[in-house]
Amino acid sequence: MPLAPSLAVPDWMRTPNPVVASGRAPSRWLNQTVAKIRRTYARTIAFESVARARHGVSQMNPVAKAISFLSLLVAASVVRSPEVLAAVAGLGLVSALSARMPLISLLSRVVGSAAFFGLVLAIPVATAWVTPGIEAARLGEIAVTWPGLERGGCLLARLATAILIASVWQSTTRWNDILGSLARLGVPEIFITMAQMTYRFLFILLETLGDMTQAREARQISGYRAQGSRAYAGAGSAILFAKSATTAHEVQMAIEARGGMAKSVLLRNPGWSKTDFVVLAVCLTFLVLSIASGVTHAF
C-alpha cells in the first residue's frame, strides 16, 4: 500500500556530506566504447540522409536495386578469378561514389568488419591445421602455409567485397525500401518482420545503453574494483536487455495503436528508368562472368 510522502527531512540531508575518500578515476573504457557505438549510429543516420538525397544509385528503383545488388553479392561469393572480384569491388565503389557517400567512413567500416572476420576466419584457415602445404612462417606451435595464406587472403577479399556491396546497398536505400523490395521479390513476410524487429530492437538497445552509461556516469564517483566491475557488466547487460525489451514492447504497442503491424511497404516506388535497366544489366553480366570464371580459372 503506497504511503503519503513525508516532509520530515532527515538530519543528514540538512548537513554537508562527510568528506569522501577519492578513489581511483573510473575506467573510461565503457563510456568510450558506448560513445563510439553511438557515433557509428549517428553516422548510420547520416547515411539515411545519403539515401534520401537523390544521387546516383540512391535514386534507383528499390526493386531494380535489390536485384542488382543481390546479384553482385552472389557474384562476390561464387567468383573464382581475382580480376572479376576486383571488378565487382570496383563496381561497388563506383556506385558509392555516384551516391556521393563519404568514402572514408565507408572504407573504414569495410576494413573494420573485414579485419574482425579476418581474425576469426582467415587466420585459422591460413594455418597448417586447416590448409596443409608448404610452410610460409611459424610462430611456436602455429604454422602458416602458402596455400593457406592464399585461401585466407581469398576469403578476406571476397568478404571485404561482399561487405562493401552490402554497405553501399544499405546506405543508399532506406531500410523500409530494402525490406519492401525483398518482400516484392518473394522473401517470406516472417523473415522481413524479424529483420524489421531486430533492426528496431538494436536501435533501442543502443539508445538504452547510452542512457544507462550517462546515468551511471552522473552518479559514479570512483573507479570500481575489478570484481565489482565484472559484477556490474553481468547484471548491467541483463538489465539493459530487460529495459530494451520493455521499450521495444512499448514501441510495438505504439505501432499497433496506430494501425497494426508495420507492413513492409515501399516508401518510394518510382517506375523503372533507363538507368535502372542499365545498372541491372551490368550487374547481371558480372554475375554471369563470375559464374563462368569458376570454370576457367582456379582461384
Q: Is 242 exposed, middle or buried (0-12, 13-18, 19+ CB in 10 A)?
A: exposed
Cell numbers of 94, please?
A: 563506383
Smaller CB distance to another protein: residue 26 or 133?
26
**Contact call for residue 233 and another protein (CB under 8 A):** no
Smaller CB distance to another protein: residue 45 or 134?
45
Q: What stretches of the chain adopt beta strand conformation (E)?
A: 135-139, 142-145
Distance CA 105, CA 96 (A): 12
Which of these ranges, 91-99, 122-130, 186-194, 211-219, lies near another protein under the rule CB under 8 A?
211-219
- Residue 88: how many CA atoms within 13 Å on its side-chain side? 38
Sign of the C-alpha dihedral computed for residues 142, 146, 152 and 157 taken in this order: positive
Contact with another protein (CB under 8 A) among 120, 139, 190, 221: 221
Q: Over the range 125-155, which residues count as b (16 or more CB within 10 Å of their CB) and which as e?
A: bbbbeebeeeeeeeeeeebbbeebbbbbebb
Which of these ranges, 97-105, 124-132, 169-177, 217-225, lies near another protein under the rule CB under 8 A?
217-225
**Contact call for residue 252 and another protein (CB under 8 A):** no
Contact with another protein (CB under 8 A) among 33, 36, 40, 46: 46
**Contact call for residue 254 and another protein (CB under 8 A):** no
**Contact call for residue 298 and another protein (CB under 8 A):** no
Contact with another protein (CB under 8 A) among 33, 40, 198, 214: 214
x-or-dash string of contact with another protein, 6-45, rule CB under 8 A: xxxxx-xxxxxxx-xxxxxxx-x----------x--x--x
Distance CA 28, CA 228 (A): 15
Smaller CB distance to another protein: residue 58 or 208?
208
Helix H, strand E, coil C: the string for 51-108 is HHCCCHHHHCCHHHHHHHHHHHHHHHHHCCCHHHHHHHHHHHHHHHHHCCCCHHHHHH
Smaller CB distance to another protein: residue 139 or 218?
218
For binding to another protein (CB under 8 A), which residues are involved? 1-10, 12-18, 20-26, 28, 39, 42, 45-46, 211-212, 214-223, 235-236, 238-239, 242-243, 246-247
